[in-house]
Amino acid sequence: MKTKIIILAVLAVAAGAFAYSRLHKAVPLAGSNAARTGLSSVGKSVDNIPEQKSAPAEDIPKGNMATNMSAQPVEFIAIPGGKFTMGTGAGEKGFKDAKPPHEVVIKTFDLAKTAVTVEQYAECVMKGGCKEPAAGDSCNWGLADRQLHPVNCVSWAQANQYAKFMGARLPTEAEFEYAAAGGRKQKYPWGNEEATCGKAVMSDSKGVFGCGTNATMPVCSKPAGNTAQGLCDMAGNVFQWVQDKYRDTYIGAPADGRAVEGAGPLRVMRGGSFNCVDALPLRTGFRGRVDPGYRDAGIGFRLAKSR
């Protein structure tokens, strides 16, 4: 009898280990990019998690429902078109894939003032237009006090689907950099002063994520870090998915600000996050890249609209 119990216990542990390995898959966060972004090399990928069906309102965790059943609408800010130099010719560490510098012409477009919030995304789930984000592991979904935090733990496809549901799109990589820097050559959305918790949701002086909270913060918590146009959190809080496929060079990049598409397994994310280990990923020219199926606490998104 004891032998039988031991065998059953071993089988149960093995089954649990297999289930865990199915839920957690190493994704291609190459080299120093992985270390600097703060994203785990082991994370949740929708390739291995059964997709959750769009849920009727009564099945959505109550923590994601605004008390009046209506989320704050997405606010857009007009970004005037212009010309800017994208990329860098300097040999600075962390910017090897941001070469060569090249001139890009951006048409006037609208960009959301904030990253999409939990309550905004929940409306789409409630109406059957979106699938639920991942939960747990610092994800904001399902937590009653996170309605005004950026929705995180969403894949690129989930972000893109929400954008379509809203009659919008994801910004292109060129649009994001142009808007983050205000069309100027500056290190951060607020200028060239070094990044601190006074301006961005990031690691604090003691190395604790989220300015000491180990979490994201409500959108627009750091107005001193806004762009001149009033965009919030273009650096810090969460990385943000953009439209583009990742290539490790700007050679052949569109000169008109269009998204890069075509071959390649990775998508681009911009802006840095609350769990970056240093401030480099918060720079306006820093390029993050990750498997589009990856759902991490450090990744969210915002919307854009063409004129």
Q: Report the range of poorest mean pLDDT among 21-25, 31-35, 100-104.
A: 21-25
CA distance linking residue 69 with residue 80, whole number of Å? 34
CA distance linking residue 73 with residue 236, whole number of Å? 22
Average pLDDT over residues 6-29: 36
CA distance linking residue 249 with residue 124, whole number of Å? 36
Rounded alpha-carbon distances, angstroms, from residue 39 to 219, 253, 283? 20, 26, 16
Going by C-alpha positions, the residue among 214, 227, 209 that lies closest to residue 279 is 209
| Total-model pTM | 0.84
**pLDDT for residue 303 is more than 50:** yes
Matching residue, tokens 């990329």? 87
Q: What percent of the chain has pLDDT over 70?
A: 78
Q: What percent of the chain has pLDDT over 90?
A: 73
**pLDDT for residue 247 is more than 90:** yes
Q: Which domains does the chain have, with CATH numbers?
A: 28-306 (3.90.1580.10)
267 has which bridge partners?
245, 290
pLDDT band at 186 (very low <50, low <70, confident <90, very high): very high
Matching residue, tokens 């180990």? 214
**pLDDT for residue 21 is more than 60:** no
**pLDDT for residue 112 is more than 90:** yes
Average pLDDT over residues 263-269: 95
Q: Is residue 111 within 8 Å of 240, Cβ to Cβ?
A: no
Structure-model confidence comparison of residues 10 and 232, the more confident one = 232
Rounded alpha-carbon distances, angstroms, from residue 277 to 105, 134, 197, 252, 285? 33, 23, 13, 32, 17
Tokens of 188: 């951060």
CA distance linking residue 155 with residue 44, whole number of Å? 9
